[in-house]
Amino acid sequence: MQPDCDHLPVKLHLERPAGQNAFTGYGPGWVDVNGQRYERHLIVLPEAIIPDWRVDTVSALTAAHFADLAPFRPEILLLGSGASFHLAPPTLVRALAAENIGVESMDTHAACRTYNILLGEGRLVAAALFLG
């Protein structure tokens, strides 16, 4: 019998610029950033972490949920919608596009992997993650 891969923890290894936040692992309901575990929704940027992000559902997201991103000027926001895929609301995508921030929706684990790749490319990326 094959193990259920969705429930196995994953450790990520990469070379990252000193002082920048990268995902170092993830599993059901948690992510590790630079070796520190987070079990609540959060936003991760190369130079900042916004822990305990106060959101309920993907469908309820508005631009106000991302007001803390303004000083960081990310060019792309990866929306990790949890264990399953949910699209960002069109009104949110339009509002962030007006601020020159592109939005990509994916499940949370894919957002972690994609964030690390874009970080390694030197991109100004943010990951907003639903956990649990």
* Long-range contact set of residues 4-8: C-beta below 8 Å, sequence gap at least 24: 6/83
Mean pLDDT value across residues 97-124 = 97
CA dihedral 97, 100, 105, 109 (to 10 degrees): -160
Mean pLDDT value across residues 1-26 = 65
What's the mean per-residue pLDDT of the chain? 90
The pLDDT-based confidence of 19 (bands split at 50, 70, 90) is confident
Q: How far is CA 40 from the centre of its chain?
A: 12
For the whole model, what pTM was predicted?
Answer: 0.88
CATH number of 5-129: 3.40.1230.10
CA quadruple 57, 91, 79, 48: dihedral sign: negative
pLDDT at residue number 14: 52
pLDDT at residue number 39: 97
> CA-based angle 33:19:70, to the nearest 5?
80
Task: Reduce the DSSP state of residue 83 to 3 states and report it.
Answer: coil
Domain ranges of the chain: 5-129
